[in-house]
Amino acid sequence: EPVPGSAEDLERFYKKCGCSEEDALTAKELDWGWKFLGKEDGAALAHVITTNKKCITLQLYVNELFPEAGIQVAKALAVNKVLKTIDLQQAQIGPEGGKYIAEALKKHPALMNLKLHYNHLGPEGTAFIAAALKKNKKLTNLNLGDNGIMKEGVQALADMLTVNTCLMRLDLSKNAGLTSGTGSPETTAIITKAAEAHEKLRQGGAKQNGHNKA
């Protein structure tokens, strides 16, 4: 087994992705969905995310990165300055991965779209991300579908929505404790009320910005 992040490891990784080193480190868009990437690819992914200064879209959907590689990707994301979209659907990064994604969200100056559908975040991982989004001023589109967020996760997101003014789309479909017949009218009311408050806040902020520009 090559040492993670070594020249030999990177060569193996580029081959797996069907991509030249030049493309991996300079392309504006990288579509590496369904590439059978796994925890052994975390170091190479981190290398690309920290080295490529032009990439604005990184598709990593349906690659079982698990927490090991998920954390490496998230730590790299925290120092990246240019990515606008990252798709980690079905990466299965778990609550631990969610914690590091949250840390990246506190710092990232450009990320607007984050897809985390089916990542086993649970209420804990969801709460980390919600807390980060109380400060984040950039992310507009977040998919947290099918993460078993439960009532605690819903409450954390509701608290965030009453202070965040940037998020325009939050997908919570297929979540245990909220949808699929597992939720309660009370839980639905918590998020509905917060979403309405968020929209008022957002509209108010937009008007304020309009006045500032005038």
Q: Residue 214: what pLDDT?
A: 45
Q: What's the pLDDT score for residue 77? A: 98
Low pLDDT (below 50) residues in the chain: 214
Cα-Cα-Cα-Cα torsion 61, 130, 128, 80, nearest 10 degrees, comes to 60
Q: How far apart are CA 153 and CA 177, in angstroms?
A: 9
> pLDDT value at position 210?
65
Which of 124, 187, 134, 199 lies closest to 163 in space, CA to CA?
134
